[in-house]
């Protein structure tokens, strides 16, 4: 297959694949939103004065850390209905939402740990160190974007599923390597700039923290 042909095929299928990648981002953002909400509650509870609450929160955090999201994905796919009826109204529970929910479990543990540290800094009048949570959160989003590709195994039409559709439609095994490599470039194109920028923000914040007179060492 001539290179020009390969490029042509990739261009033809770009809107389809790009649309799939938007699903990856949507799934990741929803996972982050759900996970952050629950994780924040856990982090807040860990700062509670009541020992029982602190301990319970820590136990839940550890529980979420031990749940393998990939297995949980299958778990939700197999054991939750796609449609359910509440008082005559039919609601859908689409596969992409199941994927987001499975991924959010990992986010809960991350947010609980990191926000706990940030909140402590905040209370100790060290807001700059607390702000470090923002670059960490964004970098974790990138990890979740990476993991969102696993949604393909439960039939979500995201970029990896769509790669397989493209390969099936185009035929020819030579194309396979290029389609997958092209999909990888989407992840790289999205993650690299964000990762770089957040790395800079983090460095900047760390420098400010160590320079600030009231600042305490972060670790």
Q: Which residues form the interface with other proteins (CB under 8 A)?
A: 58-63, 65-72, 74-75, 77-85, 90, 110, 113-114, 116-117, 132, 136, 142, 146-150, 152-153, 155, 160, 163-165, 167-169, 173, 176-177, 180-181, 183-184, 187-188, 191-192, 195, 218-219
Give the tokens for residue 55. 């301990």
Nearest to other proteins of 53, 113 (CB atom): 113
Give least dist CB 198 to other proteins, A. 13
Instruction: Return the number of the residue (33 or 199) whose C-beta is nearest other proteins.
Output: 199
Residues found in the chain: 219
CB of 214 to other proteins, least distance (A): 20
With a CB cutoff of 8 Å and minimum separation 6, the contacts of 133 are 114, 115, 117, 118
| Residue 80 vs 214, nearer CB to other proteins | 80
Q: Which two tokens stand for residue 30?
A: 């929803």
* Residue 161: CB minimum distance to other proteins, A: 11
As a whole number of angstroms, the distance between CA 119 and CA 50 comes to: 17
Return d(Cα 147, Cα 72) in angstroms, integer.
13
Q: From the CA atom positions of the chain, what is the Rg in Å?
A: 21
Closest CA to 111 of 46, 167, 205: 46
* Minimum distance, C-beta of residue 115 to other proteins, in the bound complex (Å): 10
For other proteins, give the closer residue by CB, 40 or 176: 176
- Distance from CA of residue 35 to its chain's centroid? 9
Smallest distance, Å, CB 43 to other proteins? 10
């Amino acid at each position: 297959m001539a290179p020009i042909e390969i490029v042509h095929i990739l261009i033809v299928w770009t809107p389809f694949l790009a649309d799939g990648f938007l699903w990856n981002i949507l799934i990741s953002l929803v996972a982050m939103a759900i996970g952050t909400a629950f994780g924040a509650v856990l982090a807040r509870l860990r700062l509670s004065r009541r020992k029982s609450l602190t301990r319970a929160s820590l136990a839940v955090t550890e529980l979420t850390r031990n749940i393998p999201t990939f297995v949980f994905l299958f778990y939700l796919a197999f054991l939750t209905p796609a449609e359910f009826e509440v008082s005559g109204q039919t609601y859908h529970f689409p596969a992409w939402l199941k994927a987001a929910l499975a991924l959010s479990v990992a986010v809960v543990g991350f947010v609980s740990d990191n926000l706990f540290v940030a909140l402590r800094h905040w209370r100790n009048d060290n807001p700059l160190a607390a702000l470090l949570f923002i670059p960490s959160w964004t970098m974790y989003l990138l990890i979740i974007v990476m993991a969102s590709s696993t949604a393909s195994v439960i039939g979500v039409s995201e970029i990896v599923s769509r790669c397989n559709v493209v390969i099936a439609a185009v035929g020819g095994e030579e194309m396979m390597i290029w389609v997958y490599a092209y999909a990888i470039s989407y992840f790289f194109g999205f993650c690299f700039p964000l990762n770089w920028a957040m790395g800079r923000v983090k460095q900047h914040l760390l420098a400010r923290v160590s320079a600030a007179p009231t600042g305490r060492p972060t670790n």
